Chains A and B, each alone.
Chain A
Amino acid sequence: MWLTAATVAPIAGWGLNAVLRPLHLDRTRTFRMLGPLFSLSVCLIAFIRYAPVADDLSSLWISEPARTLIPAWSVVYEPRADGVSLALALMLTGLALAVASFPHEHVRQAWGGLSAALTCALAALFAADAAVFLAALDTACACVLWVSLRASTQTRTAVLRSAVYHTLLSAPVWLSLLGLHWAGGGAGFRLPELLSASVAASPTARERLAVAFLLGLAMRIPLVPFHRWTVVLAGRGSPIISALLFPLTSYIAAYGLMRFGVTIFPDADATLGVVVGGLAAAGLIHLGMLTYTDPDAAYLFSHACTALCSLTVIGLVSLTRAGVGGAVLLMVSQGLVMGALFLILAALGTRGRWSLATIFSGMPRLTALAAVGILALAGFPGTVGFVAQIMTLAGAFREYPAITIAGALGLAPITVGLIALQRRDTVIEPRIDPPSRIHKLNRAETVPIVALLGIVIALGVFPRLLLDRITPTVDRYCEELSHRREIARALRDPIRAVEDPFAAPVESGEKEKKP
């Protein structure tokens, strides 16, 4: 029951605090931290003890008994965890713990919605049922949009637009899933049942379902042209919510693309490689240019992170060990780095409208942390972002060289734009009434940021701490996919399977010609 406990711990902590508040027994910050701390502990113990003993993709180290949620539709809640989901859960809970401990007004206001989103995100990561995954993902997105709407009036239009995007993009995914469920005779929404339904379907139907499912899920990562919602929400909204925006929404969608999308439709090479990969490369170049030209720090960070989400997609669609492993590492890296940078912006936002020059001279500790964070986001050697980018590009290059080259060119303006931030006349917009003079960072603000950046640097120097645990899952994933791809191709085109070039068609032709 540990996975279930880790999943509900964040919302349980917030609920306990809400119950105790009328009794004046609440310790708001303490109970905020308890939930993510418990989840982090469970995930960390599971991750350290995880052993690569899986026989196939569905047989994982941690699993719990299945509970039927909707018998009529065979919807089952069955928590399962592998190396990749545990790595993402660790990143998510660690980041949530850092945000929960940060002394900022918006944390107290938004923590109810954020804890609900965190619970849904963990449920999505540990779900073995595609319907449960999609429902949890949609709920997490809805929670994040709701807290964004409540936190700032400036984001009202952006939130409404994002809600429309999510609805439009979620519909084809659900329709595709329900179509498979119906084609499979209502067997269920777990991977074996969906894969059987996918293989049994006609090639045309499977291709249409694949397009709807994969594109709908990929666009939520997000990809161009539906990328604007994350940029505006992260750039204009509260930095506290922006710190958790990408891990709670985009990275969960990327995990779903890998775990369910590609697994259910293993022969959708054309859709994945050309369409999704091409859109990701175009987005990387487009957003890279915007990163270089944007003068606002929050928008610059959000542009950079959205661009790197596209790089994650390029790695995932390559379906190579290095590409997929690098994409997972990139998600972990960007989640931690973006969290640290937006916490820095949150600290600056409480101190008024100051120019960067004043900030650099008056707050040396923050300057040093910001420099480390910016270099980490740019993929500076010594940080885990560099390792992740190299692995992703090297893995993707073997399958899609043109897309990878375009992606590599798009990284250059991102790096330049981030490093040149100190030379711009950038001003940090305040979120709260500014004080008369600038105050340095206090310990409560420094510790979470230092912890996040310390993990980034530690993983950059010793990436095998993470890679050794996720590599078995990635290896199994790639092996299973190649095996299922061969089966699906053989079933799709049995004539071609018979006309094997290594067979003996010449002999059969000669026999036919003989009288």
Chain B
Amino acid sequence: MDGLLAILFAAPLAGGILTTLAGHRSRRQEALLQAAATLASGLCVAIMGFIVYRRFFLPLGAIQLRLVWGDWFVAEPLVADVSLRMDTVAGVICLVLSSISTVWQAYAAWKGWDQRLRGMISVGFSAVLLFVLADNLIPVFASLVAVGPLLAMANAWRLKPELGGERYLQVLLFHGAGDASMLVGILILFRALGTLSFRGMGVEIATQSVAAPDPTLQIGVVLLLLGVGIRSGLNVPDAVAPLFAMVYLGWRLDPVVRVVPGGVLVAVVIFTGGLAMANLAGFVHASDETARIRRMMSEHAWPFFREFLDALIIVGVFEGAGRLAVGSGRRLVMWSRRPWGAAALVLAAVAAAGLIAWRAA
């Protein structure tokens, strides 16, 4: 069953590369690629659903699946091993990511968007999966470096009228600064701890003195958090996947973050600061569809429900699913505006949470 992790990561990567390189040559080929990309995303959802169903009885944080691929490169004492690790929290995140990706792929097929754009997003999704599943900071950093340019290029391609060239460059520049900060933090951590695997870092930190922590290590952790905060906050619009992945990374880095006094608070401040900077600088610039839906919600939906949906950006997902299911997303959104529609959504969310809690117990 551990081999499913390889399929989960490889399917969108292979599909994305094939779609990007093949481009659009003939209508038949384009239709085949559309169907293949959507099926690949659906396959990921099915795999995740199967894993979560079979292994969700494990305690929170316990390992569900593990796949060890070996060393990517070795230069003693630097060892970059590529092993994938899925625990219960990562399983839920991967399920959410796979679902969003499937809905997005289907929606893109419905709208007839460029194949290369869909391929790029698919490769980006694969990178985010690696980000969540990797057990070593080097693949985590690699996937983060890959996600930024992929999503930025794809969104700039799609949002040309809204996202001007200058803003695109500014986003990339901040991404570069975030990457540099993360890289320096990783180098400091490697020098202080001698390892970059999550398990090894936890062991090394546990042996260190709590009363007199290493100041160099603290600086490295702060720089790492700063880089993560910049990358998670200053993102191009509709980039939901990195957001979820960043939250999970924060949870995985908990032993490392605690080296800094009040490290969790520092992380939250940096993350919130990044989001605030993004909004102030005008980086968070929504697409046409999401902006329209947000306007509708601000006019009609209940305030607290609007904030809830807006925070989760579920409306964008419902927009695509609604268009596919009933042929008109507007009908579904208007349905959700009615009290009984909103109540049905709340009940569905409560039922899902109860089911998860029952399985976990």
- CA A420 to CA B143, docked complex, whole Å: 19
A464 lies within 8 A of chain B by Cβ: yes
Q: Which residue of chain A lies nearest to B138 when distances are taken between CB atoms in the complex?
A: A390
The answer on a CB contact under 8 Å between B142 and A386 is yes
Least CB distance, A401 to chain B, in whole angstroms: 7
Knowing A375-B149, A415-B179, A463-B73, say if A322 contacts B184 (CB, 8 Å): no
B72, B73, B165: the one contacting A423 at CB < 8 Å is: B165
Chain A, residues 407-425, CB within 8 Å of chain B (1/0): the string is: 0110111011001101110
The answer on a CB contact under 8 Å between B143 and A381 is yes
Chain B, residues 96-138, CB within 8 Å of chain A (1/0): the string is: 0000000000000000000000000000000100000000001
Q: Which residue of chain A lies nearest to B164 when distances are taken between CB atoms in the complex?
A: A423
A386, A404, A419, A464: the one contacting B172 at CB < 8 Å is: A419
Q: Which residue of chain B lies nearest to A368 when distances are taken between CB atoms in the complex?
A: B21
Task: Tell me how many residue pairs across A and B have CB atoms closer than 8 Å.
Answer: 98
- CA A326 to CA B187, docked complex, whole Å: 15
Q: Which chain A residues numbered 389 to 442 have a C-beta less than 8 Å away from chain B? A: 390-391, 393-395, 397-398, 401, 404-405, 408-409, 411-413, 415-416, 419-420, 422-424
Q: Which residue of chain A lies nearest to B180 when distances are taken between CB atoms in the complex?
A: A412
The answer on a CB contact under 8 Å between A387 and B72 is yes
The answer on a CB contact under 8 Å between B23 and A364 is yes
- CA A416 to CA B169, docked complex, whole Å: 7
Least CB distance, B75 to chain A, in whole angstroms: 4
CB-CB under 8 A from B152, the residues of chain A are 419
CB-CB under 8 A from B80, the residues of chain A are 390
B173 lies within 8 A of chain A by Cβ: yes
The answer on a CB contact under 8 Å between A404 and B72 is no
- CA A398 to CA B194, docked complex, whole Å: 10
Chain B, residues 148-167, CB within 8 Å of chain A (1/0): the string is: 01001100100000000100
The answer on a CB contact under 8 Å between B143 and A408 is no
CB-CB under 8 A from A379, the residues of chain B are 145
Chain B, residues 183-200, CB within 8 Å of chain A (1/0): the string is: 110011011000000000
- CA A20 to CA B82, docked complex, whole Å: 55
CB-CB under 8 A from B187, the residues of chain A are 393-394, 397, 401, 404-405, 408
Knowing A386-B145, A390-B138, say if A395 contacts B75 (CB, 8 Å): yes
Q: Which chain A residues numbered 299 to 341 have a C-beta less than 8 Å away from chain B? A: 321-322, 325-326
Q: Which residue of chain A lies nearest to B71 when distances are taken between CB atoms in the complex?
A: A464
A467 lies within 8 A of chain B by Cβ: yes
- For the complex, count residues of A whose C-beta is within 8 A of B: 39
The answer on a CB contact under 8 Å between B173 and A467 is no
A354 lies within 8 A of chain B by Cβ: no
A471 lies within 8 A of chain B by Cβ: yes
The answer on a CB contact under 8 Å between B190 and A394 is yes
B76 lies within 8 A of chain A by Cβ: yes
Least CB distance, B183 to chain A, in whole angstroms: 5
- For the complex, count residues of B whose C-beta is within 8 A of A: 39
B78 lies within 8 A of chain A by Cβ: yes
The answer on a CB contact under 8 Å between A416 and B173 is yes
A381, A387, A408, A420: the one contacting B168 at CB < 8 Å is: A420
- CA A404 to CA B153, docked complex, whole Å: 29
| Secondary structure type dominating chain A contacts | helix
The answer on a CB contact under 8 Å between A423 and B145 is no
Knowing A386-B142, A419-B172, say if A391 contacts B191 (CB, 8 Å): no
The answer on a CB contact under 8 Å between A415 and B176 is yes
Q: Which residue of chain A lies nearest to B168 when distances are taken between CB atoms in the complex?
A: A423
Q: Which chain A residues numbered 360 to 387 have a C-beta less than 8 Å away from chain B? A: 364, 368, 375, 379-382, 386-387
The answer on a CB contact under 8 Å between A401 and B191 is yes
- CA A390 to CA B138, docked complex, whole Å: 9
B65 lies within 8 A of chain A by Cβ: no
CB-CB under 8 A from A386, the residues of chain B are 142, 145
Knowing A380-B149, A408-B183, say if A394 contacts B142 (CB, 8 Å): no
A380, A409, A420: the one contacting B180 at CB < 8 Å is: A409
Least CB distance, B174 to chain A, in whole angstroms: 9
- CA A464 to CA B78, docked complex, whole Å: 13
The answer on a CB contact under 8 Å between B75 and A467 is yes
Q: Which residue of chain B lies nearest to A372 when distances are taken between CB atoms in the complex?
A: B21
B146 lies within 8 A of chain A by Cβ: yes
CB-CB under 8 A from A326, the residues of chain B are 75
Least CB distance, B316 to chain A, in whole angstroms: 25
The answer on a CB contact under 8 Å between A464 and B74 is yes
The answer on a CB contact under 8 Å between A411 and B172 is no
The answer on a CB contact under 8 Å between B71 and A412 is no
The answer on a CB contact under 8 Å between A423 and B78 is no
Least CB distance, A111 to chain B, in whole angstroms: 32
CB-CB under 8 A from A411, the residues of chain B are 180
- CA A325 to CA B74, docked complex, whole Å: 10
- Pick the most buried of B73, B156, B169, B187: most chain A CB atoms within 10 A of its CB: B73
B277 lies within 8 A of chain A by Cβ: no
The answer on a CB contact under 8 Å between B145 and A325 is no
CB-CB under 8 A from A368, the residues of chain B are 20-21, 23
CB-CB under 8 A from B77, the residues of chain A are 322
B18 lies within 8 A of chain A by Cβ: no
Least CB distance, B234 to chain A, in whole angstroms: 13
B177 lies within 8 A of chain A by Cβ: yes
- Pick the most buried of B20, B149, B156: most chain A CB atoms within 10 A of its CB: B149
The answer on a CB contact under 8 Å between A420 and B190 is no
- Pick the most buried of A379, A420, A464, A467: most chain B CB atoms within 10 A of its CB: A420
The answer on a CB contact under 8 Å between B75 and A391 is yes
- CA A391 to CA B74, docked complex, whole Å: 9
B143, B156, B169, B183: the one contacting A393 at CB < 8 Å is: B183
The answer on a CB contact under 8 Å between A397 and B21 is no
Chain B, residues 61-75, CB within 8 Å of chain A (1/0): the string is: 000000000011111
CB-CB under 8 A from B71, the residues of chain A are 464
- CA A137 to CA B153, docked complex, whole Å: 42
The answer on a CB contact under 8 Å between A381 and B73 is no
Knowing A412-B176, A423-B168, say if A397 contacts B149 (CB, 8 Å): no
Q: Which residue of chain B lies nearest to A410 when distances are taken between CB atoms in the complex?
A: B180
Least CB distance, A458 to chain B, in whole angstroms: 14
- CA A398 to CA B73, docked complex, whole Å: 18
- CA A322 to CA B75, docked complex, whole Å: 5
A322, A325, A381: the one contacting B146 at CB < 8 Å is: A381
CB-CB under 8 A from A413, the residues of chain B are 173, 176
13 residue pairs of the A-B complex, CB under 8 angstroms, read A321-B75, A390-B78, A394-B78, A405-B187, A408-B183, A408-B187, A409-B180, A413-B176, A416-B169, A420-B172, A423-B168, A467-B73, A467-B75
Taking A390-B78, A416-B175, A419-B149 as given, write out 10 further A-B residue pairs in contact, using a Cβ cutoff of 8 Å, ordered by the A residue number: A321-B75, A322-B78, A326-B75, A380-B145, A380-B149, A381-B143, A398-B191, A412-B179, A419-B152, A420-B172
In the A-B complex, the 4 residue pairs with the closest CB atoms: A412-B176, A381-B142, A322-B75, A397-B187
A: residues with CB less than 8 A from B are 321-322, 325-326, 364, 368, 375, 379-382, 386-387, 390-391, 393-395, 397-398, 401, 404-405, 408-409, 411-413, 415-416, 419-420, 422-424, 463-464, 467, 471
